[in-house]
Structure 1
């Protein structure tokens, strides 16, 4: 607790993405549109699944949770980034910075665990289809979702504790557009090598372990597809390929950022933008463009809405 008493920094200053005024305005317009589409796309998926009884299955239950996490994940960083693009001096209070850091890791870790659970769900559905109804029951699905939120919370608390236990007495300039553990601990008024290694070990272990489990699951699935019919292989490959694209888009940046020591690369900001801004938008696009059931359900909901409107006009 003594180190906490040494903290005199009350706010942090972001350097942002660029100091070019024209680029800032272009980024503001493009990222505003991206964020709006992210919200609309993921909300549309959640509403479609909720209002379509035939989509009340474990796979779509997990997909709706993925959309919810994507909404939360992007909302942690994007609104503050958009505000900063309009301001000459981009600041955030110490407490808000810690809160942003906590929720960033909470939702990112929850998404990692959820993608792993979705891989397990596909493994059971494709490799042991006869046992699927008894294995992936409603109770089991709810328990898995509860477990992923619990795991995400524990991970985030560890990251946050390792960050706030350090003293911060200046400087207070963060070379980023949001608060994350690596750039924040660089500003601590003490040696952070051990803390940095603990943080990398924690995040890296989760990312690499879940990624390895995902690769193993899909390797087994691909081998088992040889026994499936042509139609079964087509449907399974369509679903699994969409999931694999999401895994690559999300795990790639996470592994790049959180599994190396405390270093700084110029490409870090670009990678961070991709996984905090772009990936949450790509998730609904991938699942709606590649999933016939979701597209069909959305079409039916649209037709029902049109019929509802006509009946009252």
Structure 2
């Protein structure tokens, strides 16, 4: 409680359930104590279908990304920096979807889903922060490919373990810098009117619309930091691949094919990630999109990249694919051999 007051001492938001009014869920007559997550509750009978699809997608996201993390940590053949960054990306993808999907699944099964005001802003912060972190890691992976292709002789001396950790820490620090100011500004607004969030989670734009004050400055600050996060990472990725392209033009045909195979997977993931995010921001600024359409577009952006990334890397990366096969074979062997040992002991006893 004291932390919230420290961040925003003048806020009129209540943080204790003891302040709730029994008539309209507000403290006294003005401040809301929780938000209602509307999400996709207007779909009617289609909600069950969407629930099943979303649940299966979430299970695949957790399973696929967990497998990538496990094999990169346990297989010595996947000890290169590229797989270290990939395992971090998988962890971020899992965390990113976990901030929203469980709540969305709950809202699809119940008529009314609520979230406390502090919980809403915590969800908002991590949802945006993890999204920017993922793009930061994609930028690091583009730089890693640049060093591997353009400076192969100095690759191991440049991409040391210390440099890898600093790059990952930089991605997390940059995402926090891009997320925290806008979240605090939105958090400090008074909320005294309707408390129904149109999205399936505490989306910043949807929550700001509920504030009982002028949020024009908040909108500008939020958009500015979004552009900083997206444009900076996008420009750095494009710059890395421009330099890679210049270097590849000087190579022979065989080296060009090898370089293309090395970069194709990452380029595919980057294209999907930035295209999905662009659709979200376009949907919020085009009047023809209904709230339901915006919810579906936002849901697609939340699920698409974390869902496809493990599949893309597993299908297009032979080393990773072989490592997953070896891991699954070890699991099968561990399940079969104990049974054989039990049969042998039974025969000996007889």
Indicate conservation of the 8 Å contact 1:200/1:258, yes or no.
no
Question: Is the deviation greater in 281-290 or in 165-174?
Answer: 165-174
Name the residue aligned to 1:84. 107
Greater relative contact order (CA < 8 Å, ≥ 6 in sequence) = 1
Count, aligned residues: 313
Q: What SS class does the counterpart of residue 130 from structure 1 fall into?
A: helix
Indicate conservation of the 8 Å contact 2:13/2:32, yes or no.
no
Normalised by the length of structure 2, the TM-score is 0.84
Unaligned runs of at least 5 residues, structure 2: 1-7, 15-30, 341-350
Name the residue aligned to 2:22. none
Q: What SS class does the counterpart of residue 91 from structure 1 fall into?
A: strand
Name the residue aligned to 1:282. 308
Query: Could you tell me how far 1:219 is from its partner in structure 2?
Result: 2.0
1:156-211 Cα shifts (integer Å, max 9, x gaps) = 32222111111111111111101021111111111111110111001112101211
From 47, 64, 69, the equivalent of 1:41 is: 64
From 12, 16, 36, the equivalent of 1:5 is: 12
From 294, 305, 311, the equivalent of 2:331 is: 305
Indicate conservation of the 8 Å contact 1:16/1:84, yes or no.
yes
From 66, 78, 98, the equivalent of 2:121 is: 98
Q: Are 1:185 and 2:192 an aligned pair?
A: no
Query: Could you tell me how far 1:223 is from its partner in structure 2?
Result: 2.7
Name the residue aligned to 1:223. 246
Equivalences for residues 70-149 of structure 1 within 5 A? 70-149=93-172
Q: For 2:296 and 2:282, how far apart are their aligned partners in 1? A: 17
RMSD: 2.0
Q: Are 1:272 and 2:279 an aligned pair?
A: no
Q: Are 1:295 and 2:295 an aligned pair?
A: no
Bigger radius of gyration, 1 or 2? 2
Indicate conservation of the 8 Å contact 2:13/2:33, yes or no.
no
Normalised by the length of structure 1, the TM-score is 0.93
1:221-254 Cα shifts (integer Å, max 9, x gaps) = 1232233344433332223121112112222233
Q: What SS class does the counterpart of residue 36 from structure 2 fall into?
A: strand
Q: For 1:62 and 1:2, how far apart are their aligned partners in 2? A: 39
Query: Does the C-alpha gap of structure 1 residues 193 and 263 become closer, same or farther in structure 2, counting only changes over 3 Å?
Result: farther
Q: For 2:82 and 2:256, how far apart are their aligned partners in 1? A: 17
Name the residue aligned to 2:50. 27
Indicate conservation of the 8 Å contact 2:64/2:311, yes or no.
yes
Question: Is the deviation greater in 59-68 or in 298-307?
Answer: 298-307
Indicate conservation of the 8 Å contact 1:207/1:255, yes or no.
no
Q: Are 1:151 and 2:177 an aligned pair?
A: no
Q: Are 1:15 and 2:38 an aligned pair?
A: yes
Name the residue aligned to 2:195. 172
Unaligned runs of at least 5 residues, structure 1: none
Query: Could you tell me how far 1:272 is from its partner in structure 2?
Result: 1.1
Query: Does the C-alpha gap of structure 1 residues 68 and 6 become closer, same or farther in structure 2, counting only changes over 3 Å?
Result: closer
Q: For 1:250 and 1:131, how far apart are their aligned partners in 2? A: 30
Question: Is the deviation greater in 155-164 or in 284-293?
Answer: 155-164
Q: For 1:261 and 1:281, how far apart are their aligned partners in 2? A: 23
